[in-house]
Structure 1
Amino acid sequence: MIDAIDTFVREYGVLAVFAGSAAEGESVAIVGGFFAHQMLLPLWQTYLAALVGTFVGDTAYYVFGKRFADHRWVQKMRTKPGFSHAMRLAQTRPRAFVFLNRYAYGLRLLGGVCCGLAKIDWGTFLIYNLLSSIVWATVFVGIGYFFGLGVEALIGDALHDHQRVIIAVAIVLAVSLLAAIVVRKVMAREKQSES
């Protein structure tokens, strides 16, 4: 079983980093960096997949907000907690909002749609989205890579296949749990301020 997972990571890991980074992919980018340190994935391909994935994902959300403002899905998003606050930020501080939006875990899709609805021009969006994508990929793939260095120092030079999988699962669970706690607190605070 572990050999099959190892083979899967080697063959499809870069594609998974791209797909995960296009969504809410911090944990995927971190795991990709960890696997790059373990030499299961090439570092430069992992980094590029995270960068392009996050850029394409946020651009798709932006286009959706810009082109489909009347779609029922977008109308439903407008009722979510935090939407009015995100929209206000997108309108008053468009450059900062585009750059920082991808760091608001759980709100990235909503923020991308807000960028399109706020009528942020293409040039501004693309430049700040690219700059943010570069920083995001560097930070999260780098965290995974340097986490691999720390684990190697604790466990030894060569991690066994089962240890890699356990560590990768632990990374995903830890990041997801932390993100869920942060999102829950932000949403609770937002509901209180809207009341």
Structure 2
Amino acid sequence: MLILAGFAAHQGYLSFPIVLALAFVGGTLGDQLFFFLGHFYGQSVIARFPSWTDRVQQVCRLLQRYHAGVIVGIRFMYGLRIAGPVVIGASAVPPWRFALFNMLGAVIWAVSIGSIGYLFGEALQWLFTDIRRSEEGVLLLIVLVGLLFGVVRRLQRDRRAEH
């Protein structure tokens, strides 16, 4: 969704700074919500989702080795977007520490993912500008390739008919 919002900002439909600000706020609040859910109801929430067993173990292992890095990067880890903050909340991580690193991760996430969408729009604009400049050449090339393809197919058919 954020990539699409970045693309829409490039096209002028949305304000890019507002897109990034809303992504930061939404990302931060969402993870804080899941952290506090884990902080207050961690074990019962984790027990309700047996499919999370592998994810819980993975987050716990990562958390022991790369404490701050896991908090910052959890939003980038496929399959851990929701389970990660819940598991971190159920661990011994203090809420202030999670909030600090969560905000850092949200800034990195909002800017990087939002910028991907914006740059995608820039690349498309560059591509279409070049195509417009050379559309007659492209059209001629398409016609020539089509003719060449037709000739080759005809020759293959004629050759098969002879055998």
TM-score interval for Structure 1 and Structure 2 normalised by the shorter chain:
0.7 to 0.9
Counterpart residue number, 1:103: 76
8 Å contact from structure 2 (residues 43, 90) kept in 1: no
Q: So what's the TM-score if we normalise by structure 2?
A: 0.73
Question: For residue 151 of structure 2, what is the aligned residue in structure 1?
Answer: none
Match of 1:75 among 37, 47, 55: 47
Give the secondary structure class of the aligned counterpart of 1:156.
helix
SS in 1 for 2:42: coil
What is the CA–CA distance in structure 1 between the aligned matches of 2:107 and 2:76, rounded to whole Å?
13
- Structure 2: distance between partners of 1:105 and 1:92: 19
- Which whole-Å deviations, capped at 9, do the CAs of 1:70-125 have from their partners, x for residues lacking one? 43x42133552232121232244321110111110221111011110112101211
What residue is the counterpart of 2:135 in the other structure?
A: none
Structure with larger RCO (C-alpha < 8 A, sep 6+): 2
CA gap 1:79/1:66 in 2 versus in 1, 3 angstroms:
same
Aligned partner of 1:129 in structure 2 is 102
What number of residue pairs does the alignment pair up? 129
- Point out where structure 2 has 5 or more consecutive residues left out of the alignment: 131-163
User: What letter matches 1:151 in structure 2?
Assistant: L
1:166 aligned residue: none
What is the TM-score normalised by the length of structure 1?
Answer: 0.62
Give the AA of the match of 2:47.
Answer: Q
Larger Rg: 2
Partners of 2:62 and 2:48 in 1: how far apart? Answer: 19
Aligned counterpart for 1:60 among listed residues 33, 38, 43: 33
Paired residues of 2:63 and 2:70 also in contact (CA < 8 A): yes
Q: 2:108 & 2:42 partners in 1: Cα distance?
A: 29
Whether the aligned pair in 2 keeps the contact of 1:77 and 1:83 (CA below 8 Å) is no
* Equivalent position of 2:115 in the other structure: 142
Provide the rounded CA distance (Å) in 1 between the counterparts of 2:104 and 2:41: 26
Q: Quick one: distance in 2 between partners of 1:142 and 1:79?
A: 33
Which is further off, 129-138 or 86-95?
86-95
Distance 2:57 2:20 in 1: 34
For residues 121 and 139 of structure 1, the distance between their equivalents in structure 2, rounded to whole angstroms, comes to 27
CA contact 1:77–1:110 (8 Å) conserved in 2:
no
Hey, what does 1:190 align to over in structure 2? none
